[in-house]
Structure 1
Amino acid sequence: MTRELIIDIAAANRSGETAEIMRRYNDVFQHHDPSALDGLVAQDCVIENTTPAPDGARRVGRAACVELWSAIATGPGTRFDLEETYVAGDRATIRWRYWMADGSSLRCVNLMRVENGLIVEAMGYVKG
């Protein structure tokens, strides 16, 4: 096997693993069930949140990240319309629309990074 083929196989394997983690992550929000988060989030995970504007808040550590995502996933009267998940190696881009209880919505993008089978970084952006 050539070196290029070996690299392509390794990249495809990483992409497949990342895609499965993102599928499980997206399910948390689609089903309003954060129970899977502990098994998806690394101990040293970092979130750069969308609020407060303009720069958002930074959450560090599994407990802080799971707490934030759990609160978002279980917000009464909210829903998430998943538009697209694009995966490349250990990175993913998720486009979605977040519908609030009052019927208004935000267009959102998450830039995610996975390491050793767990989410280690998430940066959220919104278009209001």
Structure 2
Amino acid sequence: MSVRTTAEVIARFNRAFTDREAGLLADLIADDCVMESVQPAPRGERVSGREACTQWWTALVDDLASQFTPQEVIVAGDRATIVWTYRFGDGPDQWVQGVNVMRVTDGRIVEALGFGKTAGEVPLAAEPDAA
């Protein structure tokens, strides 16, 4: 089996969210993956390891009250930048913009750093009290 390119990995990662298919994440996450979410400010929550990162992203994929939408993807070698919007409600002000800076090694995500334009706290599916 050939190793997926960075572009292929990121396209499948994004498709997991747009198609709401958490199963697409299954073999995309490296054992030593580190993910930092956009919140809480200023540094975001740090999640480490394949299982923890997969659980965090799966909760976001499965949250039907929210929608992650990639706007643009820029790939350069083992790095990718995903420009996105995240809608967390139906109101006109219930969305944010941001970017994820991703790194892929041997066909798996090893790093995902999230940065967002937020004015205060935004409810994320991975938070225990988000509903």
What secondary structure, in the 3-state scheme, does the structure 2 residue paired with 1:25 have? Answer: helix
Question: How far did 1:80 drift?
Answer: 2.4
Q: Distance in 2 between matches of 1:86 and 1:41?
A: 19
Question: Which one-letter code corresponds to 2:89 in the other structure?
Answer: A
Quick one: which of 52, 56, 67 aligns to 2:44? 56
Q: How many residues align?
A: 114
TM-score normalised by length of structure 2: 0.82
Structure 1 moving runs of 4+ over 3 Å:
none
Q: 8 Å contact 2:89–2:95 — kept in the other structure? A: no
Question: Which one-letter code corresponds to 2:35 in the other structure?
Answer: I
- Segment drifting more, 77-86 vs 17-26: 77-86
1:114 counterpart residue number: 104
1:44 and 2:32 correspond: yes
Equivalent runs, 1:48-87 vs 2, <5 Å = 48-87=36-75
Question: How far did 1:81 drift?
Answer: 2.4
1:105 and 2:95 correspond: yes
1:22 counterpart residue number: 10
Question: Which one-letter code corresponds to 1:117 in the other structure?
Answer: G
1:123 and 2:74 correspond: no
Identity %: 44
Question: Which one-letter code corresponds to 2:115 in the other structure?
Answer: Y
Question: How far did 1:102 drift?
Answer: 3.7
Q: Distance in 1 between matches of 2:90 and 2:43?
A: 24
The unaligned stretches of length 5 or more in structure 2 are 119-131
What secondary structure, in the 3-state scheme, does the structure 1 residue paired with 2:43 have? Answer: coil
The unaligned stretches of length 5 or more in structure 1 are 1-13
1:31 and 2:25 correspond: no
Q: 8 Å contact 1:38–1:62 — kept in the other structure? A: no
What secondary structure, in the 3-state scheme, does the structure 1 residue paired with 2:41 have? Answer: coil
TM-score normalised by length of structure 1: 0.84
Relative to its length, the structure with more helix (as a share) is: 1
Q: Distance in 2 between matches of 1:38 and 1:53?
A: 29
